[in-house]
Structure 1
Amino acid sequence: MNHPARLAAAVLTATMVVLGTACGSEGGDSPSDPIKSAAGGDGKTSASPSLSASHDGVKRPEIKLSKDFQAHFESWTNSDPKLQAILNGGREELRSKYAAIIEADPESKAVAFYNSDATQATARKWIRQFTDDSDSIIGKVRVFDPQVHLSDTGSGVLFYCVDERQASTKNRKTEKVVKTPDKPDSLIQYRLRLDKSSEGVWKTTSLTTVPGACS
């Protein structure tokens, strides 16, 4: 069975869970230099993430993406150190989910590291949409237009856009490629709330995606 590309992140509200998806169109196998999945022997990622100390002393999981999938974060800097830390937390939360799909590891420790209990289950459910069907992801996404601030309660609020039009899913068994369609709904706005844990990690505590909200 062929499946559409589903790169949009899981949508989470306080009381209900909805999965956001980007409808795809079928694409054939690459005519030359076929891309193997991480489980297939080529385009491998690293093994389970290892912990490394960051500049703030927090031991963080190392997240590596396959050479066959790239996530480009544009203008992902802020002169305010606290806002930069929130940006970093949001970036690594997204990268952890991409890496979990590529590694076929829905129980990824990195996903748990950057998600609260409230969002972790939904993130893993989204990842399993790929892994249960033996799908990985290839190509590239562009992550841009970050908007970040602190709320009155001290939570981080982060909006950003993801352009998925140059990304595809690839089946690990059949190598069938399903391309993300080139249409406005493939530009998705992510809306996150992040809260700082007692360990000093900005974890995602709610996440909503809005397909077509970015131009």
Structure 2
Amino acid sequence: MNRPARLAAAVLTVSMAMLTTACGSGGGDSSAAPIKGSGTGDGKTSVAPSASPGGVKRPEIKLSQDFQADFESWTNSDPKLQAILDDGREELRSKYAAIIEADPESKAVVFYNSDATQATARKWIRQFTDDGDSIIGKVRVFDPQVKLSDTGSGVLFYCVDERQASTKNRKTKKVVRTPDKPESLVQYRLRLDKSAQGVWKTTSLTTVPGACS
């Protein structure tokens, strides 16, 4: 799945300054700076559909048997931070599912993204679907760092290892593997804001290929 590593930075980059400010950056290069007090826990967490706190019905997101997204250490003892982790996880899964289903207009993608990020999310998905490609294999999503900013926004950094994933053309069945290079480990940096319905929607997203190597 070399396309995410190659295109993510160009397609999904939004408001880097906003994220680094929310993380308490003191200036300079913060590409790999941890969020203090993240307390993410250990071990691997199963990826079941998110719960629906407050009666909000969240979309059920299913990935195909040919593609797996493993979320590691995706837990936090603070319920507020866990809610941010849960909705941040489902935002990423919704985009993977939209590629697999060839559905750039996915309702799940809309559900987990604000107006500010929906267009860029659709553009990223169309990079695959317009070429008739789906995704197969496995990605590892790890090292989540989460906190609440002074303004009440959620800040979530995490890494995605795409080196065991590939694209597969629906018509020709041609498989293109992701290069085994540092750029295929991508750091995602999100700002999330809680909606009136209690959903932590992604309002800003930046990706940095190679930041997790």
Q: Which TM-score applies when normalising by structure 1?
A: 0.79
Distance in structure 1 (CA, Å) of the matches to 2:61 and 2:50:
10
Distance in structure 1 (CA, Å) of the matches to 2:4 and 2:205:
15
Structure 1 or 2: larger helix share?
2
Distance in structure 2 (CA, Å) of the matches to 1:65 and 1:122:
21
Letter in 2 for 1:112: V
Distance in structure 2 (CA, Å) of the matches to 1:12 and 1:139:
25
Superposed displacement of residue 58, structure 1: 1.0
Partner of 1:165, secondary structure, is strand
Superposed displacement of residue 7, structure 1: 2.2
Residue-by-residue CA offset, 1:139-191 (whole Å, 9 max, x unaligned):
00000000000000000000000000000000000000000000100000000
- Would you identify which runs of 4 or more consecutive aligned residues in structure 1 move more than 3 Å? none
Superposed displacement of residue 53, structure 1: 6.7
1:11 aligns with 2:12: yes
Partner in structure 2 of residue 213 of structure 1: 211
Residue-by-residue CA offset, 1:51-96 (whole Å, 9 max, x unaligned):
9972442100000000000000000000000000000111000000
Structure 1 residues 53 and 146: CA distance shift in structure 2, 3 A: closer
Partner in structure 2 of residue 138 of structure 1: 136
Distance in structure 2 (CA, Å) of the matches to 1:213 and 1:163:
11
Letter in 2 for 1:138: I
Letter in 2 for 1:197: S
1:89 aligns with 2:87: yes
Q: Percent identity?
A: 86
- The alignment's C-alpha RMSD in Å is 1.7
Partner in structure 2 of residue 187 of structure 1: 185
Structure 2, gaps ≥5 residues long: 17-48
Asked if 2 retains the 8 angstrom alpha-carbon contact of 1:5 and 1:169, the reply is yes
Structure 1 residues 91 and 53: CA distance shift in structure 2, 3 A: closer
Letter in 2 for 1:182: D
Q: Which TM-score applies when normalising by structure 2?
A: 0.80
Structure 1, gaps ≥5 residues long: 16-50
Superposed displacement of residue 11, structure 1: 1.9
Structure 1 residues 52 and 213: CA distance shift in structure 2, 3 A: closer
Aligned residues: 177
Partner in structure 1 of residue 30 of structure 2: none
Asked if 2 retains the 8 angstrom alpha-carbon contact of 1:52 and 1:59, the reply is no
